[in-house]
Amino acid sequence: MSKLPTSTPAPRVYPIIEQFKARYDFPLDTFQIEAAQELLEGRSVLVTAPTGSGKTIVAEFAIFEALDRKLQVIYTTPLKALSNQKYRDLLEHYPEDQVGLVTGDVSVNPGASVVVMTTEILRNILYQNPHRLDSVLYIVVDECHYMNDMDRGTVWEEIIIHAPSHICLVALSATIANAHELAAWISSIHNPMRVIEHRERSVPLNHFYYHEQRLVPVFDDQGEMHPKLQRIATKLKQQKKQAQQQARLQGGKRGGKRPKPDKPAEAQVVEVLQAENMLPAIYFIFSRKNCDDALEHCLDSGMSLTTPEERKLIEAEIKALVQEHPSLKETGPSTENLLLALPMGISAHHAGLVPMLRHLVEILFQKNLVKVVFATETLAAGINMPARTTVISSLSKRTDGGHRTLTVNEFTQMTGRAGRRGKDPVGYCVILGGMYQSPYQTADLIEGDYDPIASHFSLSYNMVLNLFRKLERPEIRGVLQKSFGQYLTNKEVINMSLQMEQKKQALEQIAPSAETKSYIRHLRGQIRTIQKQINRQREIYLQEFDAISRVLQYFRRIKPQGKAWELTALGDTTSHIRAQNDLLISLVLESIDFDELSPVEIAAVFSTLVFEPRRNMNHDLSPCSNQLRKVFKEILYVADDLRYVQEEENIHLPITVEFDFAPLVILWGNGCKWSTLFKFTEMADGDVVRAMRQLLDLLRQLETLPYAPDTFKARIKEAIAAIDRDLIQIIL
């Protein structure tokens, strides 16, 4: 190691960091200390490090320091479940009155010193009550790579754009390709941000390829593909060729049908893991049904992974939960099997299960009572549930856009859950082999480059209204210019400007003559085209902004006031609705007469505007009254009106109306049993809970809308009380 030059100043010692260190029984990592120092020097930080490296410590330092200075922290997470977990964690270390939680589901201590919230809630505060943040020192943005989420990514951009500059951001992210680009953008619009990049995993990960009931290391000591695996790869390639030939012969036509992939049976895999002392494991399978099937398969094979003592503990937990929530006995077959399998240490975790049961699985897994969990990808993005081993059953998954290979980010996020810091010296990742997931594909994913974060900034009615609330058009133009989308585009604009400059220089050097005339014209044409492109690119969002403004004006949500625009009462109301169908919801509020409807019927009306079905469902509207069905027709008319105006303006914001969930709201709101619901729907238990909670989220917003009559609000309140019961309820 080279010697440090003697002139290097001694590192500064910050007493507060020393105090902070004393809280832990392990020494802090360099990256954690560096991040803390940056914060103390008043800079924002973007900490990118692999899963399980200890990024949370940086956020904890921010909390520690803010509280020490009698200031506040907002802690954002992308998911309600993560927010709940964070809140519970904080309660273990801080007095109850200092900690708060605000999500679409709950609001506890919203004014506390440390408040955990979902990103959407923070966005609303930034728009509607920015003074709430006057004594906030830090905003923690946990899992900020969510900015890359197609639908929700815009929320992260918006909070970064609108965060007051006295606040430092503590952004925590999984490894991304363009951390420096992201930080440069934030530095340019917010306050200086340093990137703290930590690439090493704290617990190293060993990768294995599962082939014929054996675990073959993917790499040898030199980091090359293991020779054994190379031989397997050749063999698999031949098999694949033969299988394809056979299929061609059988299928008759060219190409034939792709033969079914050969998959090792899950029970066998688990047995191998048990024999190798590699449990507990998270076994990723990208379909709920296949997770359930895997669990059933293990049950049927008579597998048990627990000791008699462990079994007793698990059974006691189950008994307590079922006693408290007897309706759990009425949930579908997935639950039944799960409750049978849990005492054996086997479990499943996916969105089809009610949250209460998912939570039980999480707790039992964290207590090391459950040894294997068959989980869909939702677990990778969700709660903190580290394991010794992760199993990846497939290197591709089905999406709305068809079958595709996993991205490096997705693969790493899942496999990275293996190796618990302080518990396992190494973590294991097992990739199930087969003809259609070759060793080479596996190695490519392990060694591949991370994806960059792109911009998903997008305008909505709610956003435009909130911008009009505070700003006038010239300033709003400035806000749109601050987006990451515009920042990235501006980089392209620089390139285009350079191109244009070159063309102009070329033009200047040509002496006009009969021969050069047409070339000069050609060059001028090119320059004009580039100029037009540049003009368009300089303000990519402005046209859409103006189009949305015209729709808002048409529906009297804004009105001219001198040279500026101001929100009408209807506009103010709309600006408080945080939902995809924001404008449609407010149009329904405006045009439907709710006096004739019962509270639960009112809830059913709004369910049609928040419900997103997973697939086509049964249409059985029999639980809905004629009166209500008449209202449904009116909603279709209102939606059509909006759709027509949007199309005129070439706006593509989604407008969705779905009646299928309304009957369930009527039944549940009127006190039916859990099992009754499933006579009217093929939805999974977990999906029903999710949809009800989404509805409750909207109803809570309606309950506090400005300008809504008190009688309406009182009935919304009644509806909430009728729906928010039993398995629907959130347990913190």
Q: What residue ranges bind Mg ion (CB under 5 A)?
A: 56
Beta bridge partners of 197: 48
Beta bridge partners of 566: 559
63 is an interface residue for ligand ATP by CB under 6 A = no
The CB-of-128 to ligand ATP minimum distance in angstroms stands at 30
The CB-of-429 to ligand ATP minimum distance in angstroms stands at 15
> Using CB under 6 A, which residues numbered 541 to 600 contact ligand ATP?
none
When the beta carbons of 384 and 526 are compared against ligand ATP, the nearer one is 384
The CB-of-60 to ligand ATP minimum distance in angstroms stands at 8
Residue with token string 């759709």? 643
The count of chain residues that interact with ligand ATP, using the rule CB under 6 A, is: 15
The CB-of-216 to Mg ion minimum distance in angstroms stands at 32
CB 181 within 8 A of CB 171: no
Q: In terms of Cα–Cα distance, which of 342, 362, 367, 374 is closest to 273?
A: 374
CB 278 within 8 A of CB 389: yes
388 is an interface residue for ligand ATP by CB under 6 A = no
When the beta carbons of 59 and 624 are compared against Mg ion, the nearer one is 59
28 is an interface residue for ligand ATP by CB under 6 A = yes
| 51, 83, 586, 694: which one binds ligand ATP (CB under 6 A) | 51
Query: Per CB under 6 A, which region of 22-30, 156-164, 624-632, 636-644 contacts ligand ATP?
Result: 22-30
| 14, 34, 56, 481: which one binds ligand ATP (CB under 6 A) | 56
Is the peptide bond prior to 280 cis by the omega test (within 30 degrees of 0)? yes
List of residues 6+ apart from 338 with CB closer than 8 A: 295, 347, 348, 353, 357, 361
23 is an interface residue for ligand ATP by CB under 6 A = no
Query: Per CB under 6 A, which region of 48-56, 522-530, 697-705, 719-727 contacts ligand ATP?
Result: 48-56
The CB-of-143 to ligand ATP minimum distance in angstroms stands at 7
When the beta carbons of 358 and 693 are compared against ligand ATP, the nearer one is 358
Beta bridge partners of 418: 387
When the beta carbons of 56 and 304 are compared against Mg ion, the nearer one is 56
Containing H/E element for 431?
strand 427-432
CB 17 within 8 A of CB 33: yes
State the first-to-last Cα distance of the chain, in angstroms, to the nearest integer.
51
List of residues 6+ apart from 675 with CB closer than 8 A: 330
Out of ligand ATP, Mg ion, none, which partner does residue 197 contact, by CB within 5 to 8 A per kind?
none
List of residues 6+ apart from 653 with CB closer than 8 A: 460, 461, 548, 646
53 is an interface residue for ligand ATP by CB under 6 A = yes
422 is an interface residue for ligand ATP by CB under 6 A = yes
When the beta carbons of 418 and 467 are compared against ligand ATP, the nearer one is 418
When the beta carbons of 56 and 441 are compared against Mg ion, the nearer one is 56
Residue of this chain nearest to ligand ATP (CB atom): 54
Q: What span, in angstroms and rounded, lies between the C-alpha atoms of 166 and 138?
A: 9
Query: Per CB under 6 A, which region of 49-57, 389-397, 516-524, 547-555 contacts ligand ATP?
Result: 49-57
Q: In terms of Cα–Cα distance, which of 233, 179, 133, 156 is closest to 31?
A: 179
Q: What span, in angstroms and rounded, lies between the C-alpha atoms of 271 and 345?
A: 13
Out of ligand ATP, Mg ion, none, which partner does residue 29 contact, by CB within 5 to 8 A per kind?
ligand ATP
CB 456 within 8 A of CB 148: yes
Beta-carbon-side half-sphere exposure of residue 361 (alpha carbons within 13 Å)? 30
The CB-of-489 to ligand ATP minimum distance in angstroms stands at 30
CA 176 to each of CA 119, 144, 181, 384: distance values in angstroms, whole numbers, following the listed order: 20, 10, 10, 20
List of residues 6+ apart from 702 with CB closer than 8 A: 577, 589, 606, 708, 712, 713, 716
> Using CB under 6 A, which residues numbered 151 to 210 contact ligand ATP?
174
26 is an interface residue for ligand ATP by CB under 6 A = yes
> Using CB under 6 A, which residues numbered 253 to 312 contact ligand ATP?
none
| 16, 29, 191, 520: which one binds ligand ATP (CB under 6 A) | 29
Out of ligand ATP, Mg ion, none, which partner does residue 422 contact, by CB within 5 to 8 A per kind?
ligand ATP
Q: Which residues bind ligand ATP (CB under 6 A)?
A: 26, 28-29, 49, 51-57, 174, 384, 421-422
